[in-house]
């Protein structure tokens, strides 16, 4: 008998083209499987695109692995698996793909476990005193004409378990121009108290690519929507505002890439916290202290009064080839149009 939080979840729910009896045919061949209390699987046909991990041991939900259409995994497998020869083992909190922020300040709630340099709660790192983003509810998968989606609910909690934010997170999978597009819409609610998102570079919607695809250790290339790219693309892309940012390179004898996309209708534009060692993240909250050149001198922190909410929408494009061959720019236009519907 299922007890506790898992009682609200089905043992296995399937939408789209599946292999289980009773699974419905989906026009896009997209499938979502929910496995009780642990993960949500997103598939295109029979191919696993990603697993979204929500188990009780996770400091925050995360996507892993993330596969390009040619089958190549583009994000780092450590620390979920033992490191492969040559694989970097820094920044243990950078688990493949995630959404969080490094300083969330709850007004009127005492943060008992303080971290040096953090005014509120650190949901980015996983050192002593860090916060946790806990998935408390998973809805039924839904099938639309051209995609599948699922709604989850999270609580952002302090290290001692006090809730400071509620979040409704909607995850969708599309096939666009032959590439895979994951869309995350986060609706953050200050139901408990007023909340300020602190000024730090450590945020927010991020991925960590495989070592072989990095600029520093591999033959990868960073490109943004404004054409900023070079052998050291970090120099032209870090801390800049751009519609998207792409990390591509040779992997397993093939070329593949991953792009993050920011919806132009987000109330705050995102600066790109992208590094040659393999981190790529869209950060809408960093201001002057972040060091981002695009927001130098700005101090207008993002704040929510009690009862207010903030909606943000981002995409993950998984593509074959480099940014040009993977049609990242064209796929971004489709991503924007999908958000208008």
112-158 pLDDT per residue, tens: 999 999 999 999 999 899 999 999 999 999 988 889 999 999 999 99
Helix (H) or strand (E) holding 233: helix 233-237
Helix (H) or strand (E) holding 91: none
How far apart are the C-alpha atoms of 34 and 53, rounded to whole Å? 10
How far apart are the C-alpha atoms of 49 and 171, rounded to whole Å? 13
CATH code, domain with 231 = 2.70.98
Provide mean pLDDT across the span 225-253: 88
What pLDDT is attached to residue 5? 31
Query: Residue 38: how many CB atoms within 10 A of its CB?
Result: 16
Whether residue 13 is contained in a domain is answered as no
Cα 200–Cα 328–Cα 332 angle in degrees, nearest 5? 70
What domain count does the chain have? 1
273-322 pLDDT, tens per residue? 999 999 999 999 999 999 999 999 999 999 999 999 999 999 999 999 99
How far apart are the C-alpha atoms of 335 and 246, rounded to whole Å? 15
Of 39, 63, 55, 206, residue with least CA distance to 134: 55
Provide mean pLDDT across the span 27-32: 78
Cβ-in-10-Å burial (0-12, 13-18, 19+) of 127 comes to exposed
Q: Which residue(s) pair with 66 in the sheet?
A: 50
Do the beta carbons of residue 145 and residue 174 sit within 8 Å? Answer: no
Whether residue 27 is contained in a domain is answered as no
* ω into 201 cis (within 30 of 0): no
- The SS3 of residue 295 is helix
Torsion from C-alpha of 286, 308, 100, 128, nearest 10 degrees: 100
Percent of the chain residues topping a pLDDT of 70: 90
Whether residue 44 is contained in a domain is answered as no
Average pLDDT value over all residues in the chain:
91
- The single residue listed with the structure tokens 């593949």 is 256
How far apart are the C-alpha atoms of 260 and 231, rounded to whole Å? 20
Whether residue 167 is contained in a domain is answered as yes
Residue 218 Ramachandran class (φ > 0 left, ψ -120 to 50 alpha, else beta): beta
Whether residue 25 is contained in a domain is answered as no
- The reported pTM is 0.91
Estimate the share of the chain in helix, then strand, then coil, as percent rounded to the nearest 5: 10, 40, 50
* C-alpha distance across the termini of the chain, in Å: 41
Whether residue 181 is contained in a domain is answered as yes
What pLDDT is attached to residue 235? 82
Q: Give one DSSP letter per residue of 312-334, joined into a string.
A: EEEEEEEEESSTTTTTHHHHHHH
Q: Which domain holds residue 192?
A: 76-81+90-339
Helix (H) or strand (E) holding 234: helix 233-237
pLDDT at 10 over 70: no
Whether residue 11 is contained in a domain is answered as no
Q: Which residue(s) pair with 104 in the sheet?
A: 121, 197
Of 254, 211, 208, 246, residue with least CA distance to 229: 246
Q: Tell me 195's DSSP state.
A: E
Whether residue 182 is contained in a domain is answered as yes
């Amino acid at each position: 008998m299922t007890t506790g939080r898992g009682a609200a979840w089905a043992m296995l729910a399937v939408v789209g083209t599946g292999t289980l009896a009773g699974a419905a045919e989906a026009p896009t061949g997209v499938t979502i499987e929910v496995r009780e209390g642990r993960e949500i699987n997103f598939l295109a046909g029979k191919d696993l695109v990603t697993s979204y991990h929500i188990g009780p041991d996770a400091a925050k939900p995360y996507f892993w692995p993330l596969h390009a259409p040619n089958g190549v995994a583009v994000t780092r497998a450590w620390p979920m698996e033992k490191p492969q020869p040559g694989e970097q083992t820094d920044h243990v909190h950078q688990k493949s793909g995630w959404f969080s922020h490094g300083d969330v300040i709850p007004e009127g709630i005492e943060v008992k476990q303080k971290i040096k340099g953090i005014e509120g709660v650190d949901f980015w790192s996983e050192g002593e005193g860090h916060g946790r983003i806990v998935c408390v509810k998973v809805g039924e998968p839904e099938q639309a004409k051209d995609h599948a989606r699922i709604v989850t609910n999270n609580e952002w909690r302090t290290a001692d378990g006090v809730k400071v934010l509620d979040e409704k997170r909607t995850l969708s999978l599309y096939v666009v121009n032959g590439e895979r597009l994951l869309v995350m819409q986060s609706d953050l609610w200050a139901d408990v108290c007023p909340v300020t998102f602190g000024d730090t570079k450590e945020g927010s919607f991020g991925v960590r690519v495989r070592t072989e695809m990095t600029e520093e250790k591999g033959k990868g290339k960073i490109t943004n929507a404004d054409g900023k790219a070079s052998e050291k693309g970090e120099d032209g892309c870090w801390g800049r505002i751009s519609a998207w940012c792409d990390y591509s390179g040779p992997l397993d004898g093939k070329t593949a890439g991953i792009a993050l996309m920011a919806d132009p209708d987000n109330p705050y534009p995102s600066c790109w916290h992208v590094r040659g060692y393999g981190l790529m993240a869209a950060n809408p909250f960093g201001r002057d202290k972040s060091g981002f050149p695009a927001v130098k001198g700005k101090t207008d922190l993002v704040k929510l009064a009690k009862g207010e909410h903030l909606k943000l929408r981002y995409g993950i494009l998984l593509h074959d080839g480099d940014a040009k061959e993977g049609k990242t720019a064209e796929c971004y236009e489709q991503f924007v149009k999908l958000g208008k519907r």
